[in-house]
Chain A
Amino acid sequence: MSRRVRIATTSLAGCFGCHTSFLDMDERLLRLAGQVELDRSPLTDRKQIRHCDIGLIEGGLCNSENIELLRRFRACCTTLVALGACAVNGGIPALRNRYTLEECLREAYLEGAGIENPQIPDDPELPRLLENIHPIHELVTVDYSLPGCPPPADAIWALLQDLIAGREPVPPLELIRYD
């Protein structure tokens, strides 16, 4: 392969833990840098996405911006990967699905303990919220998933090496985890 594999990453309703785990690949990041070119990603701070070979999505869907961004990634990436528990099944943010959005906002901004100046943020710049958190496969086609909160760096490494080499990724049993 002459061109380096182009990768984009993003975090939707996630905590950047998966990105941190990505960085946990440590010195292997240097080898990766030789294999891939990072496109749009919080790690590059590039704001526009070009056509990419691989898109790594951290986090599920909680608002209109997530929806747009995920669709954009899907349109631009040949292979889309759900990276981590939140992208795969909603994860911790989806704990809020047992309440209505209204209840959550009231608790967070009006009635919870220690709130000063209670008010629900209503700046028109803010993205609109989804009534429920959704895993990303409910909105777009997902090619591969890597569960874990976060997925171990070794698992991310193994997955990327498989994808870069054009192999069907088969995660080693000991690297599959949901927590």
Chain B
Amino acid sequence: MMQGAAPVGESWITGLAATCGGDATALLPILHEAQERFAYIPRAVMQQIARTLSLPLAQVEAVVEFYHFFSSQPRGRYDIFFSSCVIDRLRGGDESARLLCERLRVTPGGSRADGVVSVRHTSCTGMCDQGPALLVNGHAIAGLDRERSEQMASLIERRIPLREWPRGLFRIAGNIRRSGPLLSGEIPPGAALQRALSLGRKGLLERLERSGLRGRGGAGFPTALKWRACREAPGEHYVVCNADEGEPGTFKDRELLRRHAHAVFEGMTLAAWVIGARRGFLYLRGEYRFLLQHLEQVLAERRGMGLLGERIGGGRDFGFDITIRLGAGAYICGEESALLESLQGNLPRPRNRPPYPVTHGLFGQPTVVNNVESFAAAAHIALNGDRWLTARGTEHSRGSKLLSISGDCARPGIYEFAFGTPLEEILDACGARDLLGVQMGGPSGNWITPAEFQRSLAFEDLSSAGALMVFGRERDLLEIVHGFSRFFAHESCGFCTPCRVGTGLQARLVEKLCLGRGCDRDLERLRSLGELMSATSHCGLGQSAPNPVLTTLAAEPQRYRKRLNSTAFTPDFQPLRELRSCGRRE
């Protein structure tokens, strides 16, 4: 069934297409099925998919090539992805990857000749609180220590099918360390919706507006404004929940979805009711496939309770349902317009803006895209009034925020803090001491040195979509920056020049510095490249990709200087390494 598999019957694909909607939005789920079935996506299958969905073959091929978890070349029956996240590597990720590869006799990036195992690296898998982590055939395994590596190797060598592996291996800890109103609050399914129905659409929007809720996915756009603008735009409306959570070091949505899925779905349903949407999507990052079953079950429960489907809440005019779509390993899919493209079966590349999704979103129709946490908070506000949010926080940042704390601290995990909380207090709570600094907001955020620890969590001060990466004093700053720059080079979608080429060059230059071969010119080149990328990149990825370099270079120039080669100029290649004596054997 593996290599050179005979193309499947067309009926398999048409059947799949029918269950997935039959249009281009079915592309991603069908590709997932095909990848799972063949351990790659043979060209003949791409052809059939293209025909069934009436898509150009090249589009199917382009999409397959784009996503990390799809492959046009055969992969092993056990397809392993190690997380290359900086935090996982601090926790010994390289060592456990090496061990497992050794045991399985396979080199990273390669496949074993017998087609049983293949091994690669992927970006952060959202398990930084319990890393190092990996994915095997899309299923996450965290806390990868020696014992677990041995166990996996033995299961694989005995060809035990994944579904028969001990469940314990796949257990993902919750690690909720500090709860506030969002994490400890419970919304009985349907309660917020009922309250909203009595408030009326305008009433709900006013309540949301008074609360001052700002989006939790990063940009902090006022949620009420977004819903209102979308409601006013003509067309067929959609609601999309952004559960891509791809920023390394972020994993708070993981637990919200696991423990508070009802609240999230209720928030989405409220949005649908306000804007007049009949269809909603939850875009779940591929790495969180382990949540899929649970989420489908919650959706089924809600349908059973009349909270999804036709005539929600008994009203004749309100029907709405939610479909979950699984991503396939691409950070850019968290950018809202790329996410919409991904849902539509296109290459997930950020769109030109304006127009914005509120007027031209999914299929060019008015669409609300919000983060998981934003939807959950909206549900609470609907139920409990704007005071629920305004009781905490600062003037411009109301309420509380979930943080995913990882790295060098005693208690990594998920923390809910009121906006306005000083960073020192947060670091104290998680048991972080003697720090080199923290990376606020993940790789696309900023480096904060201990001198700034009195600053506080807020959109107007230290803003973060959820990641707080902690680094102890013994860590090597340049190695950290190197990890981040590799992440961006790996995840750049390649659409625009400054980011496509700039992220690659940046990673190369930082690597040169790490190897102690850098010179002053390299710092200059990094600065000018960084300026170019942040000023001219098409989307937030390229604009923020130089942040780790630029902020550490500004804050800690001496750490860079110390690593420079003493000579004024160092070459971009290593001449001695590249010289060959032709003809003679060396």
Contact = CB atoms under 8 A, between A and B. Distances in A.
Contacts of A141: 521, 568-569
Interface in A35-73: 63-64, 67
B579 A129 contact: yes
B562 interface: no
Contacts of A131: 578-580
A122 B580 CA distance: 11
Contacts of B451: none
Contacts of B569: 140-141
A138 B571 contact: yes
Contacts of B580: 101, 128-131
A166 interface: no
B579 A64 contact: yes
| From B569, B578, B581, B582, residue with most partner A Cβ within 10 Å | B582
Contacts of B581: 122, 128-129
Interface in A49-101: 63-64, 67, 101
A132 B579 CA distance: 9
A119 B583 CA distance: 8
B460 interface: no
Interface in B549-575: 568-569, 571-573, 575
Contacts of B167: none
B582 A129 contact: yes
Interface string A99-133: 00100010000000000000111101010111110
Contact of A128 (B521, B572, B579): B579
A138 B579 contact: no
Nearest to A120: B583
A105 B568 CA distance: 36
Nearest to A130: B578
Interface in B495-528: 521
Interface residues of A, number: 21
A124 to B, nearest CB: 8
A37 B272 CA distance: 82
Nearest to B571: A139
A103 to B, nearest CB: 12
A122 B575 contact: no
A105 B584 CA distance: 12
A19 interface: no
A122 B582 CA distance: 6
A69 to B, nearest CB: 13
A121 B584 CA distance: 9
A121 B578 contact: no
B582 A138 contact: no
Interface of A: 63-64, 67, 101, 105, 119-122, 124, 126, 128-132, 134, 138-141
Given A128-B582, A129-B580, A131-B578, 14 more contacts: A67-B575, A101-B582, A105-B582, A120-B582, A124-B584, A126-B582, A128-B579, A128-B580, A129-B581, A130-B578, A131-B579, A132-B578, A139-B571, A139-B573
Interface of B: 521, 568-569, 571-573, 575, 578-584
Please name the 4 residue pairs, one residue from A and one from B, whose CB atoms are nearest each other, closest first: A122-B583, A120-B583, A138-B572, A128-B579
